[in-house]
Amino acid sequence: FGSMQNVNKVSDVVVFGGTHGNELSGICLVKKWLSGPPLQSATCKVTATLCNPEAIRLCRRYKDCDINRQFTRVDINKVTNAEENLPYEVKRAKELFSQYSDYSGERIILDLHNTTANVKLCLIVEKPTDYFALHMCRYIQQHFSADFCHILLQGKSYGDVRYIAKHGIGIEVGPQPHGVLRADIFDLQEKAVKLSLAFLDKFNNGDIFNPCEIVTYTQFKKVDFPRDHEGNIAGMIHLDLQDRDWQSVSGSSMVFRTFQGDNVTLEDVVKIPDEIKDLVYPVFVNEASYYEKDLAFWLTKKATVALPILKLNVLH
Amino acid sequence: FGSMQNVNKVSDVVVFGGTHGNELSGICLVKKWLSGPPLQSATCKVTATLCNPEAIRLCRRYKDCDINRQFTRVDINKVTNAEENLPYEVKRAKELFSQYSDYSGERIILDLHNTTANVKLCLIVEKPTDYFALHMCRYIQQHFSADFCHILLQGKSYGDVRYIAKHGIGIEVGPQPHGVLRADIFDLQEKAVKLSLAFLDKFNNGDIFNPCEIVTYTQFKKVDFPRDHEGNIAGMIHLDLQDRDWQSVSGSSMVFRTFQGDNVTLEDVVKIPDEIKDLVYPVFVNEASYYEKDLAFWLTKKATVALPILKLNVLH
């Protein structure tokens, strides 16, 4: 779907829940669709799948390693099934990869996630040039009030499960504690999935999506907690920052408070280049699973992206 | 400290953090007191201790089993160190039991916990006859606004760490996702601990605590989630109940919504005796660690308890 490519009818959608085994809203939605009336679309085949069953059974992010970092051609191909002691998630990633990667039609992946951060509805796309996915995000976004739904660009692939199809979006909803299911978050994630399918039906039916500008946030810098000489955290997210994902920060913004009570500003821990200093927005503030990744929050840079017209077989 | 007993000067306080290894505010407070200026009292010795170091290292509730169910004389004594494959938490409970249980002075345990439920500050005492602990709770409670701090009676011992001293309170603070540290929850728990020590100093210095009545909530019934034939949850806490710990419910209150969208009332799942029907209050609504215990929330019964006068050596 690059800007010079054809955009064909989407024939297949795979919805993954439980890529992380303790993020319950995607898991319970997939279980709902598998056990009751299935998730359906008028114009394409829809499959709901549990991505990491063993982690789901344990109600942990993963059993051996984060499956959402294993989906790269290099990693998938360098291991063989004969290898001893292959981490469970590598085996499962290989399995999913071989199951899905040779599809000749147009397939879309929806990957359902939760976070303890107050992101509300966050739609994740890898590249700012994936105009098809960004049109889909914009369509979803328009069904929510201002500042409720944001579009996050990763800037690069992390080897996530969306890699097994040409296109996909991560649907990240929070705040929800891991291991907890909240009805409000469940409903929000279901609404986002259904809007995604509604968009695909409109696209498949020939609807025109006009050129437009969208606001995006691109991850550019990880910020870690204050730590002691043993690597233990020695401070916490400042009350000024807690729950304030997607709100602008400057160098003088308080971002941490040490256990002893000292405030830490953003410029104490990160050098922000002058040219983007008014465009810096934190996201994934105080996400539980990122403590072990030495990550207290991501800094993103706000930018406008111009989308070309989108219509079946037309994107220019 | 039964109503006919002497109440002696309190000489020793042990503050446990990390009884559950993913409840970060107690863990980080204890680490703060161990690495920086220690927690102190003017009138008694104070020790801050990490209760379950291996679970803390893993950032999980426990390694092998819940340590806060192991502290009973029966369980502690029936196992010997020579036994193979003794669960880590049983070994650690034995260790703490032998370290603390033969103290001849008056010792108080403060056991610090977090929950994903919206309990705000919840002070947990085993029995309604532990007037000393309840006077301490009332003292703490008076420093918060109405409906912010509640007193929960377990009614029976669960074999928790408070068992190793004659008296203790659980200081449960939420909502906080497990594996996350929030500054507001950290501050609230620190304030509750410091108020506990302030109470003990006043008591040790001879202050009089007058007879009074306090409002308590006694756990009487566990309520489980709706489940399918395989034991998987098939519904979630209703939006009417989510975040509404300590708010009265009746038989017609909506408590669950199934994944298919059907509402479930309290009387659909529990028979409430007529004589307490206006006194029923849910607590620990949607606590993450209780999913595996088949527990969606506790029902408690609200009751007033009359406390006798309390003064050094006087309780009658």
Domain ranges of chain A: 10-215+307-315
- Contact at 8 Å (CB) between B176 and B182? yes
Which has the closest alpha carbon to B94: B157, B159, B172, B45?
A: B159
Higher pLDDT, B7 or B20: B20
Higher pLDDT, B76 or A162: A162
Residue A257 has pLDDT above 50, yes or no: yes
Give the chain A residue nearest B259 (alpha carbons): A32
- Contact at 8 Å (CB) between A274 and A265? no
Predicted pLDDT at B25: 98
Give percent helix, percent strand, percent coil of chain B, each to the nearest 5: 30, 30, 45
Rounded to a whole number of angstroms, the distance from the CA of B301 to the nearest CA of chain A is 25
Inter-chain CB proximity B260 and A228 less than 8 Å: no
Q: What is the CATH number of domain A10-215+307-315?
A: 3.40.630.10
Residue A104 confidence class, pLDDT cut points 50, 70, 90: confident
> How far apart are the C-alpha atoms of A51 and A37, rounded to whole Å?
20
Residue B74 has pLDDT above 60, yes or no: no
Mean pLDDT, range B153-170, rounded to an integer = 87
Residue A12 has pLDDT above 80, yes or no: yes
Residue B79 has pLDDT above 70, yes or no: no
Residue A73 confidence class, pLDDT cut points 50, 70, 90: low
Residue of B89, B106, B126, B172 marked active site: B172
Mean pLDDT, range A236-248, rounded to an integer = 98
> pLDDT averaged over chain A?
93
Predicted pLDDT at A1: 42
Give SS3 for B247.
coil
Structure tokens at B139: 């003292």
Inter-chain CB proximity A178 and B177 less than 8 Å: yes
Q: Which of A215-229, B41-55, B79-93, B257-271 has the lowest mean pLDDT?
A: B79-93
Residue B52 has pLDDT above 80, yes or no: yes
Residue A190 has pLDDT above 90, yes or no: yes
Predicted pLDDT at A80: 64
Rounded to a whole number of angstroms, the distance from the CA of A177 to the nearest CA of chain B is 5
Inter-chain CB proximity A260 and B32 less than 8 Å: yes
- Does the annotation mark B172 as catalytic? yes
Could you tell me what percent of chain A has a pLDDT over 90? 82
Predicted pLDDT at A31: 97
Give the chain A residue nearest B180 (alpha carbons): A288
Predicted pLDDT at B160: 87
Q: Which of B22-31, B95-104, B244-253 has the lowest mean pLDDT?
A: B95-104
Could you tell me what percent of chain B has a pLDDT over 90? 82
Predicted pLDDT at A78: 62
Residue A103 has pLDDT above 90, yes or no: no
Could you tell me what percent of chain B has a pLDDT over 70? 93
> How far apart are the C-alpha atoms of B54 and B64, rounded to whole Å?
10
Rounded to a whole number of angstroms, the distance from the CA of A210 to the nearest CA of chain B is 36
Residue A48 confidence class, pLDDT cut points 50, 70, 90: very high
Residue B4 confidence class, pLDDT cut points 50, 70, 90: very low
Residue B101 confidence class, pLDDT cut points 50, 70, 90: confident
Which has the closest alpha carbon to A60: A32, A89, A93?
A: A89
Instruction: Show residues of chain A in contact with B36, CB under 8 Å.
Output: 259-260
Predicted pLDDT at B2: 44
B131 annotated among ligand-binding-site residues: no
* Residue A68 to residues A80, A95, A178, Cα–Cα distance (Å): 19, 14, 16
ipTM of the complex: 0.94
Q: What's the distance, Cα to Cα, between the start and end of chain B in Å?
A: 10
Q: Residue A247: left (phi > 0), alpha (psi -120 to 50), or beta?
A: beta
Predicted pLDDT at B164: 84
> pLDDT averaged over chain B?
93
Inter-chain CB proximity B180 and A288 less than 8 Å: yes
- Contact at 8 Å (CB) between B298 and B222? yes
> How far apart are the C-alpha atoms of A183 and A185, rounded to whole Å?
5
Residue A158 confidence class, pLDDT cut points 50, 70, 90: confident
Mean pLDDT, range A278-292, rounded to an integer = 97
Inter-chain CB proximity B259 and A32 less than 8 Å: yes
Q: For an interface test with B, give the residue of A20, A57, A115, A180 to mutate (most B CBs within 10 A).
A: A180
Residue B142 has pLDDT above 80, yes or no: yes
Residue A229 has pLDDT above 60, yes or no: yes
Residue B1 confidence class, pLDDT cut points 50, 70, 90: very low
Inter-chain CB proximity A177 and B177 less than 8 Å: yes
Predicted pLDDT at A316: 52
Residue A221 has pLDDT above 50, yes or no: yes
Predicted pLDDT at A74: 52
Residue A155 confidence class, pLDDT cut points 50, 70, 90: confident
Rounded to a whole number of angstroms, the distance from the CA of B116 to the nearest CA of chain A is 7
